[in-house]
Structure 1
Amino acid sequence: MKNLICGLGMASSVVVALAPAVNAQKPITDIQLLETEAGLKIQLISPVAIADVTETVEGNQLIIEILNAQLDGILEQSLLSEPNRGIASVSFSQQPNNILRLIIEGSRFAPFVDVITDGTGLVVQILPDDLEDEDLELIVTATRTEEEPDKVPRSVTVISSEEIESQTALNSNLSTILGKLVPGLSTGTETSSNFGQTLRGRNISVLIDGVPQSTNRNAQRDLRTIDPSAIERVEIIRGPSALYGDGATGGIINIITKSGAGQPFVSRTEIGTKFSLTELDNSFGYTLSQSISGSEDKLSYAASGSLTTSNNLYDSNGDLIPPTPTLQGGLGDVETLNLAAKIGYDISETQNIQFNFNYYNDSQDSDLGLTFQNFFPTLERATAIPGLELPDQPDTENIVLNFAYTNKDILGSRLDGQLYYRDYSTRFYPFAQPVNSPPFNFLPIQSEVESEKIGGRLDIETPLSKDESLEVLWGVDYDYEDTSQPVDIFDPAAVFFSNGLVFNPVGISILSPPLQQSELGLFAQLNWDVSDSFNISGGIRQEFIGIELDDFTTILGADVGGGALDYDATLFNVGAVYAFNDEVSLFGNFSQGFSVADVARVLRTAAPGFNVEDLRPEAQKVDSYELGIRGNWDKFQASLTGFYSFSNLGSTFGTTSLLDIVRDPLRVYGLEADLRAQVSNQVALGGTLTLTQGERDTDFDGDFDTDSSSFVIPPLKLTGFVEFSPTDKWQNRFQVNIVGDRDAEANGVIFQSVDGYVTADLISQYETDFGTFQLGIENIFNTDYFPITAQAFGGFNQYAGQGTTVSLKYGFDW
């Protein structure tokens, strides 16, 4: 409630008249910035009283204008050389008509101030309590309750809306954005699929406001379900976690959508364009977004809509990149529509309800197809060819409805409840199978994953001591999902003789059978602040998963008996944080995650007479150990983490036998680091390090002698950036992304080699009185490269990365 009240106070535009107007000009002989116990104080010295003052808020800036005032013997300047106590900068300047302007910019929000006039000038006291609130960052994903990041005993990365907005000057694909910012996360695939993008070498669980985006028939498009313009922040938990249930063997990405602004009404409009510098022809794409938000008394609201189009994509040589290079989905010739809304209401000082809605549609419309491998079996670069005739092209539609209730004091405990519904479908590019591989009897097919999910969560946080140093969080999760994968079947002759361009539908069938999955999780998590410098936490989760399938007939005509499968898992976590001082802390943890096999996927090629109940796959359980150190000073932040994870079982099935699960023991280990240094008020620099290795014990002899695939274990990743702000209104960022070499080896034979590459980007933003202009140049040096996933696929699916592209955006508030 305090944050809401402060936000309302800071974000509203207020005109304050401190005394009757005095028309006589007032000389300002000195302006001083003083640091006191009460906070920062600005002293304006004048031989006469100053009374005519107005205050206005613009974004995170508080603008104070003093009427009938003139600088006397002092020059315009900035009073703050580096950020201090939540204040990014303080500057003053002389304006026309004898107006003196004082601008106080907060690090995150416009500050709250007291303006005091006396006979010797004016005092602007920046209120310290509000500064402390502004600097206090809370996260919810790591512990399922609000917590300061420094008290969480594991690796956490928070990407703010400002960082996301800056990166969208280059690219609006969330997979690409996060790949450039998050240590431990492999680089983006540069397609609409996140297949091949892992976190610490394992699978990612993606949530939107706590609502799971995965499907049990994994479509691998979880990061392509919401537009970045609707995102407030992204919280990434690096490493396995069972806090939110199945799937997070590598970590969790929780996308938090935007809420109502702390002022009655805010509206923002943005328009932009993006094009290729290596080939302008048909490369122009466009974006348009509109958002409104506000809060009044007990009500808060936010709504937004965005429309983004892309056209032809070109590599560094000016050659076309296929719109769907790996059959998993692409980014060329795509139209993306996102509609979002969130409404909150404070029932009382302790109770709040919130409803949010998000609709996302990603649809492709292209006349470009992918070179058919039958005609070019040795092709080593994906090539786009015109003439595609496909009735229903790849698309994704995602609808999320979410209702949340919070009671901060119910019998001394805090209760958070959530109910959600998700309706999802995604259509792939046709699978026109080459003649040398007959799993679907040489039938060209196009599948669509359809999923409906309903669920809920209940969290109760109960203090166990009077000073609340010992607390337990306990609760229950439940969700139910209904999934199917129908297919269209095409005329094989038309596909073959058109070089994979003409797809004439001749029938429909089922690829993966309709499947119902229910998941129940019971958990308890204990948190103990042993002292001001030492914190211990630990918990347990019991998971129950049931899968049911009816009798069905495969696409090849095999009759398969239905049945039920049951899974259960008990998972633990324990961790501790020790703070050496206010800046440096050491943390360590043991955690477990788990994942179930993709049952529907393997059953699509079941033999006649097979029964589902004959299939008894075990859940994959991952044990993870982590040790790290982090420091947070005024001008320097850094962290270094080492991790190791181990699993006895895989969660996919073998290719030679239906009943074989890939049970190879797998270990993954590595190092992660990130740092940021504020060199001066104008210059900041930093970067990240991701070093991951993974090996399999294929013959179960205790020797991990086979490297994991490059689809899951990425090469070395280094990122770096330099930010330069010549003025308060002009910000620039130059960033570099370095991918190393990797040769995956098995029995002395190298497979899935990855050749490293280096790309660089430039972002420039300039704020004016009538809006903000953004320039983004991606791959500024026009590097010719293949993304990691493209190299892992190889052959005719090996697509090139985009050459130099330019984005221009203009946005304004009204």
Structure 2
Amino acid sequence: MFRYFASAFALVAVSPAVAQSTSGDEADREQVGVDGETIVVTATRTQLPASALPLTVDVIDSEALERQLLISGSTVDAVSALLPSFSPTREKLSGAGESLRGRSPLYAINGIPQSTPVRDGSRDGYTIDPFFIDRVEVIYGSNALQGIGATGGVVNQVTVGAPKNDGATVRTLLQTTLPDGFAGEGIGAKAGALLGYRSGPFDASFGATVERRGAFFDGTGSRIGVDGTQGEIQDSDSWSVFARLGYELPGGARLELVANRFELEGNANYILVPGNRATGVPASSIRGETPGAPPSNTAELVSASLIDEDLGGGTFVLQGFYSRTDDVFGGGVFGVFQDPAIDPSGRLFDQSANQSRKLGGKVSYERALPGFEDLVLTVGFDALFDRTEQSLVQTGRVWVPRSNFRSLAPFLQGNLALADGLVRIAGGLRYENVELNVGDFTTLASYGPVSVAGGSPSFEDVLSNGGIIVEPLDGLRAYASYAEGFTIADVGRILRGITQAGVDVDDFLSLEPVISNNRELGLEWDRGTLSASASYFWSSSDFGSLLVLRNGVFEVERQPIEIEGVEASIDWQTPIPGLALSGGFAALTGRTDGDADGLIDEDLDGANISPDRVNLAAEYSSGRFSARAQARFYLEREFNDASTATDFEGYTLLDAFLSYRTQFGEIALAAQNLTDEFYITYDSDTVRVTDASRFFAGRGRTFTIGWRGEF
């Protein structure tokens, strides 16, 4: 713990030299918009500003998001680049092992969960094109504000809003991405357009995007190996359509309908060439044909909402939604897919697909207590119905049986201002009533096969949260909080891997939920040209969920988990007009009881904890010109396991961004990995360290030229 605080205060002490921040202009913790109005963080489920809540909250606004998207191309990469507590991405379609504060974040679109908790396909970061995202709200730490899944926090993607003025508007995007050597097969391109229209109380927005990504190259100019099983971003095509319809009712309420469809599919032009870990040669790719259907990700979402900000003196929010995802994974002649009754030769090719459907609703009402206006109460109710199954595409077999998940959750939150706002006390309760229904099923032949009796296990729990905020001076804010998050382990992995006969789902212990507790102390300063923050947190779960590699397949193990860490950020508007320097720091440790000896003394591995990190950035803006340089220092990490092969060596990435605004739009140039650093990705360096096929290098220097116009 001491080294955490020493590192945090050392960062603050060198503030004139630091640059990248998760606060200030990049990820605004004060939530003040360009027009001076306070931005409501919708993911917090309250109209109160984030400064009134005992939470660490970041908002990546539209300008900052657009810069990062030009550099890296995806919302997940943008969030990872800006937030030091977020792990390095795998640079693949799968987000398995990517974490926030050492635990899985809940991805959401307008508060609608994108995860598939019953059978986690780890594709929830790619369900909407970022062209349609206005800002990203990030709530750190375990919480149940959005229901199930936010054990590491919430990453809420807020879609573009309605046109402000009557008439038609058009927003367009054209960009091309070039690898360092300008090889034709590495060139990518993207185009997008969003048409908006407003006439009095009615407004509408319709948009579409299309993108083609080329092959990726590492710092040596070699093709990066393709992940033919989990799925790839490189060598893929995607398209997306988006629609929003809104109507302002006479009483001031707003009725809104949002629809989105996103599809990403690999082109399967390359096959993997395994690397050599002993000589440090990473996996690469050569042109070739891949059997089966290419890995793909399809997501559809329809939501309707009614918001009345002055109903009986309070704010009423009603939302209903339907979403569907279809994740197709790459195939192979894997042992787990073999069945002598189908192919006695043992060369049976197959691949899996994960299908999930969600139907849900949320309702809440918030207002100050009549006669006691310093107390603001929020009461609400959430309902979620999730149906998920995983099948084998080529043979039609069931790998994970259809599982129906149901969650009903009323909640109550309160926020009390004392001493004219000098002190605030916040807290609440959420009652989770969950049921999982699984029918009788038989596992694949490779697991026995064995017959499993279905059942309907249910869980009930009351999740609490509470905290205190003190603002003794203008610009100084301190808080302490406690919050509980809730999820279930990857039920699909557990069920499909049963090898013992006579198992009854109702009595199967491993289906118990994961309750994670997050405790946090924070201090923030925001006054004049300097803003800074530091926080210390520790979280625990007595019956956690870990991914453990066994016989080449990740399985779920239930073990106690303890994670602690420190975060710090700073933003300094220098005396030089237009120049800002900022910085961010995060250090985490996580331990578990892997050998069941009662001692929580084994380090979490790279699939379950991220490396320590320092972010630095410098940004300059003058008139129509703006520029930004940012560096990410991923620090080395050693694990206390028997193998030194899992140790992480660390690496540094430098990115740059230039833009110039003309009367015809903004022209921008971005460079990712400007120094063309050769590195092995964190996941490849610390997980499956004996697998030469999973030894992936990171992306080398890449240039993107873009044009954005608004008419």
User: Is the 2:338–2:348 Cα contact (8 Å) retained in structure 1?
Assistant: no
Equivalences for residues 688-767 of structure 1 within 5 A: 688-699=584-595, 703-725=599-621, 727-746=622-641, 749-750=643-644, 752-767=646-661
Secondary structure in 2 aligned to 1:593? strand
User: Is the 2:293–2:330 Cα contact (8 Å) retained in structure 1?
Assistant: no
Which residue type is aligned with residue 542 of structure 2? N
Within 2, Cα distance between the matches of 1:444 and 1:377? 30
Within 1, Cα distance between the matches of 2:426 and 2:566? 23
Q: Which deviations, in whole Å up to 9, do the C-alpha atoms of 1:653-691 show, x marking residues without a partner? A: 877899x97343211001111121111332111121111
Matched, 1:511 2:399: yes
1:451 deviation in Å?
0.7
Name which one, 1 or 2, has greater alpha-carbon Rg: 1
Unaligned runs of 5+ in 2: 1-23, 26-31
Within 2, Cα distance between the matches of 1:802 and 1:389? 23
Within 1, Cα distance between the matches of 2:368 and 2:487? 32
Query: What residue is the counterpart of 1:687 in the other structure?
Result: 583
Within 2, Cα distance between the matches of 1:410 and 1:268? 34
Matched, 1:420 2:321: yes
| Aligned counterpart in structure 2 of residue 614 of structure 1, from 507, 510, 521 | 507
1:323 deviation in Å?
3.1
Which residue type is aligned with residue 631 of structure 2? V
Within 1, Cα distance between the matches of 2:533 and 2:97? 26
Secondary structure in 1 aligned to 2:122? coil
Within 2, Cα distance between the matches of 1:421 and 1:431? 33
Within 2, Cα distance between the matches of 1:293 and 1:223? 26
Query: What residue is the counterpart of 1:533 in the other structure?
Result: 422
RMSD over aligned Cα atoms: 2.7
Query: What residue is the counterpart of 1:626 in the other structure?
Result: 520
Query: What residue is the counterpart of 1:780 in the other structure?
Result: 674
1:372 deviation in Å?
6.3
| Aligned counterpart in structure 1 of residue 570 of structure 2, from 646, 666, 675 | 675
Secondary structure in 1 aligned to 2:492? helix
Q: Which deviations, in whole Å up to 9, do the C-alpha atoms of 1:510-531 show, x marking residues without a partner? A: 1111111111111111111113
Query: What residue is the counterpart of 2:686 in the other structure?
Result: 792
| Aligned counterpart in structure 2 of residue 232 of structure 1, from 116, 122, 134 | 134
User: Is the 1:405–1:418 Cα contact (8 Å) retained in structure 2?
Assistant: yes
User: Is the 1:371–1:384 Cα contact (8 Å) retained in structure 2?
Assistant: yes
User: Is the 1:324–1:332 Cα contact (8 Å) retained in structure 2?
Assistant: no
Within 2, Cα distance between the matches of 1:155 and 1:426? 32
Query: What residue is the counterpart of 2:438 in the other structure?
Result: 549
Matched, 1:316 2:215: no
Query: What residue is the counterpart of 2:351 in the other structure?
Result: 446
Query: What residue is the counterpart of 2:493 in the other structure?
Result: 601
- Aligned-pair identity in percent equals 26
Matched, 1:579 2:471: yes
Secondary structure in 2 aligned to 1:695? strand
Query: What residue is the counterpart of 1:344 in the other structure?
Result: 246
Within 2, Cα distance between the matches of 1:654 and 1:385? 31
User: Is the 2:218–2:224 Cα contact (8 Å) retained in structure 1?
Assistant: yes
User: Is the 1:469–1:529 Cα contact (8 Å) retained in structure 2?
Assistant: yes
Q: Describe the shift of the 1:437–1:672 C-alpha distance in structure 2 as closer, same or farther (beyond 3 A).
A: farther
| Aligned counterpart in structure 1 of residue 233 of structure 2, from 331, 341, 345 | 331
User: Is the 2:384–2:407 Cα contact (8 Å) retained in structure 1?
Assistant: yes
User: Is the 1:324–1:331 Cα contact (8 Å) retained in structure 2?
Assistant: no
Within 2, Cα distance between the matches of 1:209 and 1:476? 17
Q: Describe the shift of the 1:481–1:149 C-alpha distance in structure 2 as closer, same or farther (beyond 3 A).
A: same
User: Is the 1:455–1:478 Cα contact (8 Å) retained in structure 2?
Assistant: yes
Query: What residue is the counterpart of 2:192 in the other structure?
Result: 289
Q: Describe the shift of the 1:483–1:626 C-alpha distance in structure 2 as closer, same or farther (beyond 3 A).
A: same
Q: Describe the shift of the 1:710–1:656 C-alpha distance in structure 2 as closer, same or farther (beyond 3 A).
A: closer
Within 2, Cα distance between the matches of 1:203 and 1:587? 24
Within 2, Cα distance between the matches of 1:277 and 1:654? 37
Within 2, Cα distance between the matches of 1:464 and 1:334? 54
Q: Describe the shift of the 1:611–1:700 C-alpha distance in structure 2 as closer, same or farther (beyond 3 A).
A: closer
User: Is the 1:791–1:798 Cα contact (8 Å) retained in structure 2?
Assistant: yes
User: Is the 1:649–1:662 Cα contact (8 Å) retained in structure 2?
Assistant: no
Equivalences for residues 96-111 of structure 1 within 5 A: none
Within 2, Cα distance between the matches of 1:683 and 1:656? 51
Matched, 1:455 2:357: no
Matched, 1:648 2:537: no
Q: Describe the shift of the 1:591–1:799 C-alpha distance in structure 2 as closer, same or farther (beyond 3 A).
A: same
Secondary structure in 1 aligned to 2:71? coil
Superposition TM-score, scaled by structure 2 size: 0.88
User: Is the 1:380–1:796 Cα contact (8 Å) retained in structure 2?
Assistant: no
Within 2, Cα distance between the matches of 1:189 and 1:322? 12
Unaligned runs of 5+ in 1: 1-85, 88-106, 110-130, 490-506
Q: Describe the shift of the 1:292–1:614 C-alpha distance in structure 2 as closer, same or farther (beyond 3 A).
A: same
Secondary structure in 2 aligned to 1:483? strand
Query: What residue is the counterpart of 2:283 in the other structure?
Result: 382
1:438 deviation in Å?
11
| Aligned counterpart in structure 1 of residue 334 of structure 2, from 428, 433, 447 | 433
Which residue type is aligned with residue 602 of structure 1? I
| Aligned counterpart in structure 2 of residue 521 of structure 1, from 401, 409, 414 | 409
Q: Describe the shift of the 1:443–1:472 C-alpha distance in structure 2 as closer, same or farther (beyond 3 A).
A: farther
1:714 deviation in Å?
1.2
Matched, 1:171 2:72: yes
1:411 deviation in Å?
3.7
Matched, 1:300 2:203: yes
1:567 deviation in Å?
1.6
Which residue type is aligned with residue 401 of structure 2? P
Within 1, Cα distance between the matches of 2:122 and 2:334? 20
Instruction: Report the more deviating stretch, 361-370 or 605-614.
Output: 605-614
Within 2, Cα distance between the matches of 1:695 and 1:561? 35
Q: Which deviations, in whole Å up to 9, do the C-alpha atoms of 1:358-378 show, x marking residues without a partner? A: 1111111122112369x9999
User: Is the 2:172–2:709 Cα contact (8 Å) retained in structure 1?
Assistant: yes
Query: What residue is the counterpart of 2:17 in the other structure?
Result: none
1:768 deviation in Å?
1.2
Which residue type is aligned with residue 730 of structure 1? F
Secondary structure in 2 aligned to 1:362? strand
Query: What residue is the counterpart of 2:304 in the other structure?
Result: 403
Q: Describe the shift of the 1:521–1:227 C-alpha distance in structure 2 as closer, same or farther (beyond 3 A).
A: same
Query: What residue is the counterpart of 1:469 in the other structure?
Result: 374
Query: What residue is the counterpart of 1:268 in the other structure?
Result: 171
User: Is the 1:186–1:717 Cα contact (8 Å) retained in structure 2?
Assistant: no
Q: Which deviations, in whole Å up to 9, do the C-alpha atoms of 1:220-247 show, x marking residues without a partner? A: 1111111111001111010000122111
User: Is the 1:259–1:293 Cα contact (8 Å) retained in structure 2?
Assistant: no
User: Is the 1:402–1:420 Cα contact (8 Å) retained in structure 2?
Assistant: yes
User: Is the 1:136–1:148 Cα contact (8 Å) retained in structure 2?
Assistant: yes
1:764 deviation in Å?
0.4
1:603 deviation in Å?
1.7
Query: What residue is the counterpart of 2:664 in the other structure?
Result: 770
User: Is the 2:412–2:428 Cα contact (8 Å) retained in structure 1?
Assistant: yes
Within 1, Cα distance between the matches of 2:493 and 2:280? 29
Secondary structure in 2 aligned to 1:282? helix
Equivalences for residues 25-36 of structure 1 within 5 A: none
Number of matched residues?
A: 664
Equivalences for residues 145-294 of structure 1 within 5 A: 145-215=46-116, 216-264=118-166, 265-278=168-181, 280-294=183-197
Matched, 1:805 2:702: yes
Higher relative contact order at CA 8 Å, sep ≥6: structure 1 or structure 2? 2
Superposition TM-score, scaled by structure 1 size: 0.78
User: Is the 2:263–2:299 Cα contact (8 Å) retained in structure 1?
Assistant: yes
1:159 deviation in Å?
0.5
Within 2, Cα distance between the matches of 1:661 and 1:135? 46
1:595 deviation in Å?
1.6
User: Is the 1:288–1:308 Cα contact (8 Å) retained in structure 2?
Assistant: yes
Secondary structure in 2 aligned to 1:260? coil
Within 2, Cα distance between the matches of 1:377 and 1:368? 24
1:434 deviation in Å?
7.0
User: Is the 1:669–1:693 Cα contact (8 Å) retained in structure 2?
Assistant: yes
Query: What residue is the counterpart of 1:368 in the other structure?
Result: 270
